[in-house]
Amino acid sequence: MDTNKTFFAHETAVIDDGCKIGKGTKIWHFSHIMPNCTIGDNCNIGQNVMVSPQVVLGNNVKVQNNVSIYTGVICEDDVFLGPSMVFTNVINPRSAIKRQNEYLSTVVKKGASIGANATIVCGNNIGEYAFIGAGAVVTKEVQPYALVVGNPSKQIGWISEYGHRLNFDEDGFAICPESGGEYILKNNELRKL
């Protein structure tokens, strides 16, 4: 365990040896941080969260209650993981067959949000600032800024860095109503101007 004590851990939290935990991070009730995890600065790990060995969380990652983050998952800076959302790490699990050497990686890119009760099937990366709706089941790659919902999930639009659905004019131009940020959509790829 990181002994510099620049982070907070509730007395019921368990933090195993070999973890690196950044300053300002808070780890709440009944959470378990397993060996050799890396958790960045100013993260918030909610109640009853399990972080498996070698998971990497960037800075300012918010993990809501009842989330398990399995080996193979990497969350970049500013990621939001909603209550009870689920990651997997084996594509075809069987109780009687050991598949620890078959874990697939899942990368959640900077600024992405995953809604409550969503499931991310392993090996499918989530693009920057993408927004996964509550209850969605992600079975394929998600583009940056994509808004996806449903089971299996499908893209229904595009979203700004501030989390607002974007409405485009005939030239593929949109403005975030909160930030005023400008976006352009060309060839089914969104770019912030």
Instruction: Quote the pLDDT of residue 5.
Output: 76
- Mean pLDDT, all residues of the chain: 96
Q: How far is CA 92 from the centre of its chain?
A: 22
Cis-peptide, bond into residue 35, ω within 30° of zero = no
pLDDT per position as a tens digit, 146-185: 999 999 999 999 999 999 999 999 999 999 999 999 999 9
Q: What is the mean pLDDT of residues 98-125?
A: 96
pLDDT(138) > 90: yes
Put residue 72 in one of left, alpha, beta given phi > 0 → left and psi -120 to 50 → alpha: left
pTM over 0.85: yes
Q: What is the mean pLDDT of residues 36-52?
A: 98
pLDDT(90) > 80: yes
Q: What is the mean pLDDT of residues 80-89?
A: 97
pLDDT(1) > 70: no
Instruction: Quote the pLDDT of residue 4.
Output: 55
Q: What is the mean pLDDT of residues 57-83?
A: 98
pLDDT per position as a tens digit, 4-32: 579 999 999 999 999 999 999 999 999 99
Q: What is the mean pLDDT of residues 29-55?
A: 97
